[in-house]
Amino acid sequence: MVITRFAPSPTGHLHIGGLRTALFNYLYARSCGGKFYLRIEDTDLDRNVQEATEAILKAFEWVGLEVDGEIWYQSQRLDIYKGYIQQLLDEGKAYYCYMSKEELEALRETQRAQGLTPRYDRRYRDFKGTPPSGIEPVVRIKAPLSGEVHFKDGVKGEVCVQAEELDDFVIARSNGVPTYNFVVTIDDALMEISDVIRGDDHLSNTPKQIILYQALGFKIPNFYHVPMILNEQGHKLSKRDGAMGVMDYKALGYLRDALLNFLVRLGWSHKDQEIFSLQEMKAFFNPKDLNSAPSCFSPHKLEWLNSHYLKESPLDTLKALLKDFSLPNGFHALSPAQQDILLEALKSRVVTLKDMAHEVAKVLTPPTHYALDKLKNKEQALEVLNALVASLKAQDFSSPETLDKTLHTFMQTQGLKAGAVMLPLRIALLGEAGGIGVKEALFILGYQASLERLKVFLTL
């Protein structure tokens, strides 16, 4: 069975790169009918933030990545890790190192001065003497002294590291708390993780973890190290480029389906398809199709996808989503039909839900400025609108279609072209030369509000 996991550290909010990693692992498990686990790596008690854990869980809930079983917390498993550390010590595969921080730094300085790579010199690897007093030892693994550590990465291909490049790395700190590489190895083994998909910033950790798998007799999982996401200039993604917390995207009005679709294409492809539903992602995803080249974060692509999903969203869905944004009270005073017409008129004109809420407020708020410079003849426009006001009746506002007929009848009766009526009418109602359709604006505002806006404009 394919079993994957996502294992964030709760030191900050879940960011876009982390969500992509979670998505890849989730999709692979679901595509094979396997299991997907969430593990919170919270052994670094000095850096853990409870709000960060809550933010990770909220982000998972928002994007709909359901996990199997209970959430794993490493901070609740310290006794398990200590048991395996003791096992390695008892089997002679690990040892206590009494080297002080000052001694280690002095050694590294000497090595740097000699042009060598700074590393621990294994002086306590086979130590049999009396331990120095006043030193709380760390525990180091006995890494192989010769040969190589190699594995086949699903993205990078064959990876080989010479043993001489590795030192006896620390697996437990002097306070007894195990290190990252150690707890990751133990948990992945005990959780029976079959496949690890993660960023290639973890590639250097993998040989160390393989050493631990072998020392403990655990089965080694398959690894897929995905290249990092870069900005459009080919540099590391920053917050300015889009490396924000996942929930920041929700606050900006992006739809979860658009965000997931965007992320799945940052490093994975299926033929020439660009638009994927979550069900399609589950059906098509295979880690063998992960790209070996870095992906480019394009804000324009995300906006295009979000616009697509907004256009395709049912109106009831949009109404529910817009509850998270500040809609004016006037929107809730509209009839369901008026709300539907307004959202339908806007959803093809905006990029995000936040934009939509802003545009709703613009339509429902009487204009204070008018695009008079767009009118060729203001006096003539005022004459046309005066005549229109006299011809409009309350019953004309029963539907946009009825209003459309009324406007065309007025134009025919007055011998006017559409531009002579529609442009000044739109400016009078909305203040701008562009925007939603005139008949839709009249219907949404209703008879009284429309006439009030027209009368204000006619007094300019």
What positions carry a catalytic annotation?
A: 239
Amino acid at 181: N
Reported as half-sphere exposure (CB side, CA atoms, 13 A), residue 154 has a value of 19
Q: Give me 440's structure tokens.
A: 């839709």
DSSP E strand boundaries for 319-372: none
Distance between CA atoms of residues 261 and 254, nearest Å: 12
Phi, psi of 17 (to 5 degrees): -65, -40
CA 91 to chain centre: 44
Collapsed DSSP state (helix, strand, coil) of residue 366: coil
Q: Give me 419's structure tokens.
A: 């531009």
Q: How many helices (H) and strands (E) does the chain have?
A: 18, 12
Q: Give me 130's structure tokens.
A: 């009396």
Reported as half-sphere exposure (CB side, CA atoms, 13 A), residue 442 has a value of 27
Amino acid at 280: E
Contacts of 105 (CB under 8 A, 6+ apart): none
Task: Give the orientation angle of helix 336-346 with respect to helix 438-458, to 10 degrees.
Answer: 100
- In degrees, rounded to 5, the angle at the alpha carbon of residue 114 between the alpha carbons of residues 109 and 118 is 50
User: Which of 86-89's residues contact partners 24+ apart within 8 Å by CB, and which partners?
Assistant: 87/216, 88/139, 88/141, 88/171, 88/215, 88/216, 89/139
Strand partners, 230: 236, 296
Q: Give me 308's structure tokens.
A: 């697509």
Collapsed DSSP state (helix, strand, coil) of residue 387: helix
User: Which of 113-120's residues contact partners 24+ apart within 8 Å by CB, and which partners?
Assistant: 119/167, 120/167, 120/168
Q: Give me 278's structure tokens.
A: 């979550």
Which strand (E) or helix (H) includes residue 230? strand 229-230
Count of CB atoms situated within 10 Å of the CB of 258:
24
User: What b-and-e string marks burial along 75-91, b requiring 16 or more CB atoms within 10 Å of the CB?
Assistant: eebeeebeebbeebeee
Distance between CA atoms of residues 45 and 11, nearest Å: 10
